[in-house]
Structure formats: C-alpha cells, structure tokens
C-alpha cells in the first residue's frame, strides 16, 4: 500500500511538472509572438510608405505595373487561402455554401453580360443605370441572404440588422447607381485589411494591436499620396490606356476631382491590397508555403478530394502565366477582361469573410 501511495505521489508530481512546462512553453510562444510583432509592423510600414512615395510620383506607371505583376498571383494566393478554409463536409453550413457557390458565379456572369446587352439593345444612359441598379440590388440581396444563413449557425450574436441594412443599401443602389459602383471599386481593396485583421485575431492575437496602430497611419499616407500627386498632369489625356485607368478610378463620376488624385488613390489602395494577399496572409493565415498542399483539409482528409484540389490549383497557376502573356500582347484589352472576370474573386471574399466573423 505504501508503494502505491509513493507511486501516486510521483505521478502527481510529474503531472504538475509537465503542466508547468506546458504553461511555460505557451508563455514562451506568446512572448515570441509579441517579439515578432515589431518586425511585422516595420515591414508593413516600409511597404505602406514606399508605396505611397512611388504611387504619388508615378500613379499611371504604377497602375500599369502593379496590375501586370500582381493581379494574377494575388488571385491565386487568395484562392489558395479560400481552399484551405473550405470544410470537407458542410454539415449545417450546407445552405450557406450552396447560396455562396451559386450566387457568386451567376452575379459575375450578369456583371459581364449586361454592358454588352445594353449596347446591343440600345438602352441608352437611363437603361444602363437601371441595369446597374438592378445588379446592385441582386448583390445586396445575396449578401443579406448569406448573413441570415450565417446567423443560423452562430448563437448568441444579433444579426437582425442585416435585413433593414440591406433594404437601405438597395434603396441607395437605385438612387445613386453610379456612386454605388464607384464605392465597390474603392472599398474592395480595404476588404483585404479586414481579412488580415480577422486572421490575426485567430492566429496571431499578440500582433493585432500593433497592426491596428499601423492602420491608423493609412489616412495620413493617403494624404501624402495626394500631396505628391497634386502637381502632376492629368492622367486621362495620355492616350487610350490612361483614359481607361482614369475612368476605372472614377473620373467620369467625380468630374470635379483631378483624375491624377483619383488614380493615385486607387492604385495605392490596390497596392496595399496586393501586399496583404501576397505577403501578410501567407505569413499569418497559411500553415505552410502556399505551394505545399498537404495541410489543406480537402487534400489531407480521408474524405477529401486531393487530386481535384491539386488540379484546380495547378490550373490556376497556368492561368496566372496566361494572364502575364496576354498582358504582354495586348495590355488594354486584357486589363478590361481581367477587371470584369475579377468580380468573381470580389464576390468570393464575402462568404469567407462572414465565416471569420
């Protein structure tokens, strides 16, 4: 009996020692994470400041260069991130994913088709704006449906605001259809910052405060971009490509604002967007290098689809190479086609962002 008591005491002491070691290890990991927060912040500030300087001095050139270099790769990394977050079995999220996977392609097709239909049908300016307002309303309805479906999966959180907010946004879509489209152009790059915030909250919480402090400098850097770009010539008068870049930045809507400032602002936000997806998200959101697929649930799970997932990602990499080739042959046409097809990745961000909330 005495021997059993001694063994019990020994095991208890060992358990306590292991518990202390485990706790010390967790504290060490948290301390290490805090230590790496400052290098992360310095790298982020270096990217933000250097981008502001270059974009302010050469907005049109940076617009052409950043889209050429980073548009395709950032879409691939974003798709890789979404694939890693896709569950093998949807369970009670089945309706959510069905609405997401059905709505995003249909809305993208409608977005690509309706301008051609408007031209072919001779709708005129009024018909064009009506078609835009209708698409915006369908988009809002799709987002509201996803929010309500997500609300069924989360307990203890009030999502009742979604329906009245959706109705208000739909009304604005009909009152100001051109402004609504321009808002999407400028708000979409900021979604990457929200993604990074939510991902840091999950995987690197010790970095979150430092990251948010860096974001407080973003309005000042945008002001610096304006100051640097204010003295340059207008962008839209530099040829067909320059005119298309200025139009995409909202020169046709905000006629009272110099188009150089609009282009510089849009290019700067897009550059930050590309930096988040190509550098920050792989660092904090992926458990391994983007090209290593072993830790993706769709690949590693016994019920997953490893070959199909690898094939889709390989096809995506080939599309990136094809995009670079097309940019080299006809940049203007490829840019138009890309920004139309890129609506799919804009829409795909919505359900995955909702999954992080």
Q: What does the pLDDT look like over 3-33, one tens digit per residue? A: 333 434 333 444 444 343 333 333 333 444 4
> What's the confidence (pLDDT) of residue 39?
83
The angle that helices 59-85 and 2-57 make with each other, rounded to 10 degrees, is 160
Look at 10-19, 133-142, 157-166, 305-314 and tell me which has the smallest mean pLDDT. 10-19
Whether the CB-CB separation of 306 and 62 falls below 8 Å is answered with no
Look at 49-53, 258-262, 292-296 and tell me which has the smallest mean pLDDT. 292-296
> What's the confidence (pLDDT) of residue 31?
40
Whether the CB-CB separation of 261 and 230 falls below 8 Å is answered with yes
Average pLDDT, the chain: 83
**In the chain, where are the structural domains located?**
40-356
Residue 137 and residue 142: Cα distance in Å, rounded?
Answer: 9
Average pLDDT over residues 106-130: 79
Average pLDDT over residues 239-247: 88
Whether the CB-CB separation of 271 and 51 falls below 8 Å is answered with yes
Residue 355 and residue 210: Cα distance in Å, rounded?
Answer: 24
Confidence of residue 102 (pLDDT cuts 50, 70, 90): very high
Question: What are the Cα distances from residue 243, in Å, to 150, 215, 282?
Answer: 41, 31, 35
Average pLDDT over residues 287-291: 74
Look at 99-108, 207-216, 297-306, 347-356 and tell me which has the smallest mean pLDDT. 297-306
Non-local (6+) Cβ contacts of 328 within 8 A are none
Non-local (6+) Cβ contacts of 126 within 8 A are none
With 0.85 as the threshold, say if the pTM is over it: no
Non-local (6+) Cβ contacts of 140 within 8 A are 166, 169, 170, 173
- Give me the sign of the Cα torsion angle 40, 41, 43, 48: positive
- Give me the sign of the Cα torsion angle 67, 73, 75, 77: negative
Segment (H or E) for 163? helix 162-175
> What's the confidence (pLDDT) of residue 34?
54
> What's the confidence (pLDDT) of residue 35?
52
Average pLDDT over residues 263-286: 91
> What's the confidence (pLDDT) of residue 38?
80
Helix, strand, coil percentages (3-state) for the chain, rounded to 5, are 85, 0, 15
> What's the confidence (pLDDT) of residue 123?
73
Is a pLDDT exceeding 90 seen at residue 55?
Answer: yes
Residue 15 and residue 241: Cα distance in Å, rounded?
Answer: 69
């Amino acid at each position: 009996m005495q021997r059993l008591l001694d063994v019990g005491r020994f095991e208890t002491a060992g358990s306590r020692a292991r518990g202390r070691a485990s706790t010390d290890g967790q504290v060490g990991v948290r301390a290490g994470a805090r230590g790496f927060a400052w290098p992360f912040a310095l790298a982020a500030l270096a990217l933000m400041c250097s981008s502001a300087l270059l974009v302010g001095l050469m907005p049109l050139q940076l617009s052409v260069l950043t889209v050429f270099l980073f548009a395709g790769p950032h879409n691939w990394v974003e798709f890789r991130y979404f694939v890693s977050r896709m569950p093998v079995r949807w369970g009670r999220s089945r309706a959510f994913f069905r609405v997401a996977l059905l709505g995003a392609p249909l809305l993208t097709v409608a977005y690509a088709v309706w301008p051609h239909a408007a031209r072919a049908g001779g709708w005129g300016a009024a018909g064009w704006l009506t078609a835009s307002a209708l698409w915006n309303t369908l988009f809002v309805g799709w987002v509201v449906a996803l929010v309500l479906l997500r609300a069924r999966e989360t307990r203890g959180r009030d999502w009742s605001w979604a329906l009245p907010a959706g109705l208000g946004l739909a009304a604005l879509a009909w009152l100001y259809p051109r402004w609504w489209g321009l808002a999407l152009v400028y708000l979409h790059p900021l979604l990457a910052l929200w993604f990074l915030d939510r991902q840091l909250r999950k995987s690197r919480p010790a970095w979150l405060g430092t990251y948010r402090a860096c974001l407080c400098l973003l309005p000042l850097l945008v002001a610096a971009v304006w100051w640097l770009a204010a003295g340059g010539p207008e962008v839209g008068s530099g040829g067909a490509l320059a005119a298309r870049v200025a139009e995409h930045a909202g020169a046709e809507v905000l006629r009272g604002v110099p188009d150089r400032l609009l282009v510089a602002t849009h290019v700067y936000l897009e550059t930050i967007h590309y930096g988040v997806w190509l550098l920050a998200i792989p660092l904090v959101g992926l458990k391994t290098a983007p090209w290593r697929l072993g830790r993706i649930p769709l690949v590693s799970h016994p019920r997953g689809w490893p070959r199909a997932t690898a094939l889709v990602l390989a096809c995506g990499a080939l599309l990136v190479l094809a995009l670079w080739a097309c940019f080299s042959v006809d940049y203007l046409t490829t840019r138009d086609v890309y920004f139309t097809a890129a609506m799919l990745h804009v829409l795909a961000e919505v359900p995955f962002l909702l999954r992080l909330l």
